[in-house]
Structure formats: C-alpha cells, structure tokens
Structure 1
C-alpha cells in the first residue's frame, strides 16, 4: 500500500508537465549566430529554431528577448559614448572627408582634356554639422590656359528635427572662361530629408541668397537671389553608388528693371557613379553640367565635364 505522501507526489508529477528544454544542438546554433554579431542572421536562426522546435518555442523566445535587451543596452551605451566624445572634442577634431584626383573631358567654352582635383571635409556634431568643399580644374594647351575653374564652399547645418534642418552657405567661384573673375554667394534657408535609409537618401533645401559677380569686362553685378538644391544618393549594389547633386540659383532684381536688363539663372548639375575598390578607395565616373542663362560677353551658356577620378576617403 502506497503511503499518502508518495501518492500526493505522484499525482503532482502527473499534473505538472515537464519543462521543455532547448535541444543542445539548437542552443549551439543560436550561440554561434550571436557570436558572429549579425543581427539579421540571429533573428533568422531564432525563427527557424522556433519553427523546428515548437515545444521549445517559449524558451527560445526568452533567449531571443535577453539577446535583444543586451543589443539595445549596448546601442544605448554606444550612443551616449558618441555624444560625450563629440562634446569633449575640439574644433579640429572629428573631421572626415575625401580627396579625389582625375581627368576630365570638357565641351562648351573650352573643348579639351585636363586634370581635376577636389577635397571635401565634413564634421558631424550633435545638432550641428559642417561641410567644406574645394575643387579646381586647370588645363594648359600650347602654352595657353584653356580652362581655369576654382570653387570653394562652406555649409553649416543645424538639425531642427529628425528630418528638418536649417542651412547656411558661403561660396566663391572663379571661371574666366565662363565670363567672370570672381563670383561670391551667400545663402541661408531650410531643408528637409525626404528619404533616409541604408539604400537611398534624398534631401532638398531652399532659401534666399545674395550674389556678387565681377565679370572679366570689369562689370560688377550685385543681385538678390533664390537658391534651390537637392542631394540624392542611391546604393545600387554593395559596391556601386549613384550620386546626384543639383543646385539652382535664380537671380531676381530688387527693382522691376532688373527683369528687363537680364536676370541670371545658374544651374549646376552633377551626376556620378562610385565603384568601391576598398574601404577607403573608390573610382568615380561623373558628368557635370553648368548653365548660365546670362553669361559674360562672348561666353557660352553651358559647360559640361565628363570625369573619371580616384577618390580616397579618410
């Protein structure tokens, strides 16, 4: 005859189902995925494990929940560390950029082949970012200069919201073959990021501007203007990226007579395809169109450049 205590224990064991355990081989597979550090692979392995081991689905989900919590905490700590690094950084710290050098073929005011070089620098802060760009195209043929173009631009930005930002712009240009010795422009306004993903980004901006043009014939033209810009990047494949930068500056006179004497619209359109060679080195094929609706005396309205350059990021 069974003792009462033994009977009660036996009934309890029958009433309480055994706690499911994650099979050792499944646990090892999940651990291996986590060790590799690829979140997408971990999530895929976890879903497959729950499908193939339905009796252990709850335990597998507990493992996944703990892993996700660790990931979230690590991300939070990394973000805090990044913010603190930015706060402690000096004016000349945390700059990144790219330099490029290559060849171009031009049509319009000068039809020739030559060399081009440019440098872009950027500093990303918490709310502020700063971008500096310098470029030069130069060509001499038979002892004569056939192309001489220089550009320098500085653009600070302040992030107002997640996608909305305010910008400033100060720009200097020199291109005697387009009819001006010096051209200065300042602008400020707002912009908005329409697309922001790993595959593509698209932002637009607009604002008032003021431009001073000193032409080769000695004329000095000062006008208020409006600036419109767009910046589009599309990652076509793992190593191929399409870039599109467009800026249009439309001048309008402060008096109605300016409409008669010839307001000037300048359009700068730059399209390119980057081919990633290594983490820091890329090759770039680009096409640039520059149009002035009212250029200097004896100057063409439109210039184009097709370039092949090597780009080094740092």
Structure 2
C-alpha cells in the first residue's frame, strides 16, 4: 500500500483536524483564564502591536502640526517701570513766612480755647463726677461772670455804695439755664439808705418744631428793706420767640402767665398775673455791646395794679477777661403801699468773666 492511499489520506486529515481543535481549545481556555482573578493575580500576556497603536508617537509631520495647533500664544510684554521721580512738596509743606505760621498757630489754638471754655471753670469734661450738673444733663457751654461796683464820698457828707453780683448761663443741647444774683447796699451819715437784693433764674427748652421757639420758666425772689414788703416771690412761664437772630444781634419776645406773692406786706394772698417781655442784645464791635430788657407784669384783676422792670447796659471789653459796664435799672410798681413807685439804680461796674 502506498503513502497516498485513501486510507492514509483520511488519517492525515483526521490528525490535522485534531491538531486544529486542540489549538483552538487552548486559545479559548487562555482567554478565560483571567476571569475571577484580581489585577495582580493575572498572568501577563503579550499584546499585539495593533493594541498599542494609539500610544505610539505620531510621525514627524503630524507631530509638528499638532505642536503648532496646541502651542500657546506668547505672553504680552509687561511695561517697564518708570524711574521714580522726586515727589513734589505739598502746598502745606511749602515753607511759609513767619507771620503766616503765627496766624495758623492762632487758628489751631482757638478751637482748643473754645473747647476748654465749653466746661467753664472745670476746663474739662466732668463725666464721672456725679456732683456736677453736666453729669446729669450732658455737655454744655458755660458763660460765667462776676461784677463789682464801689462808690464813696467824704467831706460835708459821707456815703458809700457797694454793689456785687454774678451771672451764670449754661447752654446745653436740650435746655438753656441762666441765673442773675445781685446785691446793692448804700449808707450815709444817718445809716442805711438802700439795701436790696434779688435772685432771678430762667430755664428754657428750645422746641424741635422750630429753632426760634422755646418754652420757658422763670422764678424771681426780691428782697428790699425799704419797701412795704420783706420779700416778693414771682413765678411764671410761657413761650418765647426770636423774630431776629444773627451772630451780632439777638432779639427775644416772650409771653406767659404766673403769679406773685408778697411776704410782710399789707397786700395779702397770691396775685395771678400775666407776663410780657422783650430782650435785645447787640454786639456793636468786637469789644463793645449793649443790652436792653423790658418786663411787664399786669395783674388779671385791674384793682391789683401792675409792675414793670426796665434794664439797660453798655459793656466795653478790656484785657484779661475784664470788662467795664455802665448800667441802669428802673423798677416800677403801681401799688407801692404809701411808698415811691419808682426805684432807679445806676452804676459803673467792673466785670470779670470766667
């Protein structure tokens, strides 16, 4: 039998089929060997070049085109810093003449003086001191003064006259308080010819509806040894209005009502009365000023009469807080009880403001 008999060809074909089948089963088994194993348990297998084609670097021409596409534009050049120039002196740093420096120094010191004067004799904010009125009523401006007048005569007649007084004014944010105290005593060879004193105070509340309107309360206590009464008490209140007010001029009108009562007088009981007033203050020059004040107290009943007080003064400012004052005051009473109706006091006074 030869090599290429039908029987031998059949055997060779069968062997080839078995070989292919075994080879395919081995490949299938190898493809499923990694199932169920972790990444570290799997055996590395060779990969074909086709699987890594996307990791290969592109050709030179492709690479150059990609580089040109992905290349970022160049950064703009920053401007070079300019050389620092010497700073020009400010107007206030320019050297000024000595006179200008003195004026500026005076302007700087002026507010400081005003601030110190704000609290009068204390010269500082008295917060924390419960015994001072500013502790309870807030910050305020104080204007205080004391006055003294002496007159004497010797020779054929001997007489001397003494007049002392003080004024206090406090201007706060919500109230304005003023007080006036005065005592006048005159004597001659026969003894006392004049001895009187009075204490006046006024409290104002400026209204918020208009700065020129305010509500006030006044109390006057008058003592006079040579009148029909020992002491007179006057209390009244009302509304005041400023029809004209500037830095140099202040004019105030007031109207209200109240009562008066005399002690040690033939006139007994309380007398209801109205009150009308006008007060004008004008600053003539930096050192000269005058003041005119008029008060009228008519009783509600005609048989009880009326009273009036007219006060005028002229003041000249001196140095060191001193001033010279010329004043005259007339007090009129329509029911003097067998005494003179008019009392006129005039004086030349030296005033010290503090």
How far, CA to CA, are the matches of 2:205 and 2:291 in structure 1?
23
Deviation string 1:66-108 (CA, Å, 9 cap, x unpaired) is: xxxxxxxx9xxx9xx99xx698785344543111011479xxx
How far, CA to CA, are the matches of 2:181 and 2:161 in structure 1?
17
1:166-181 → structure 2 map (5 Å cutoff): 166-181=215-230
TM norm structure 1: 0.66
Paired residues of 2:145 and 2:353 also in contact (CA < 8 A): yes
Count of aligned positions: 240
How far, CA to CA, are the matches of 1:113 and 1:170 in structure 2?
31
Deviation string 1:102-149 (CA, Å, 9 cap, x unpaired) is: 1479xxxxxx86221111112221111211221111122225221111
1:5-84 → structure 2 map (5 Å cutoff): 36-37=103-104
Offset of residue 287 of structure 1: 1.3
Which residue of the partner structure matches residue 266 of structure 1?
307
1:150 corresponds to 2:197: yes
Offset of residue 264 of structure 1: 2.1
Paired residues of 1:210 and 1:224 also in contact (CA < 8 A): yes
The structure that is strand-richer by fraction is: 1
Which residue of the partner structure matches residue 350 of structure 2?
310
How far, CA to CA, are the matches of 1:89 and 1:204 in structure 2?
37
How far, CA to CA, are the matches of 2:182 and 2:148 in structure 1?
10
Query: Which gives a bigger RCO, structure 1 or 2 (Cα 8 Å, sep 6+)?
Result: 1
Q: Which runs of 5+ in 1 are unaligned?
A: 1-23, 39-73, 106-111, 254-258
Which residue of the partner structure matches residue 64 of structure 1?
none
Task: Say which of 331, 343, 347 aligns to 1:290.
Answer: 331
Which residue of the partner structure matches residue 201 of structure 1?
250
Q: Which runs of 5+ in 2 are unaligned?
A: 1-90, 106-110, 120-124, 135-139, 153-158
Offset of residue 273 of structure 1: 0.6
- Higher Rg of the two aligned structures: 2
1:187 corresponds to 2:236: yes
Displaced runs of 4 or more, over 3 A: 32-38, 85-96
How far, CA to CA, are the matches of 1:139 and 1:35 in structure 2?
50
Aligned-residue CA RMSD (Å) = 3.6
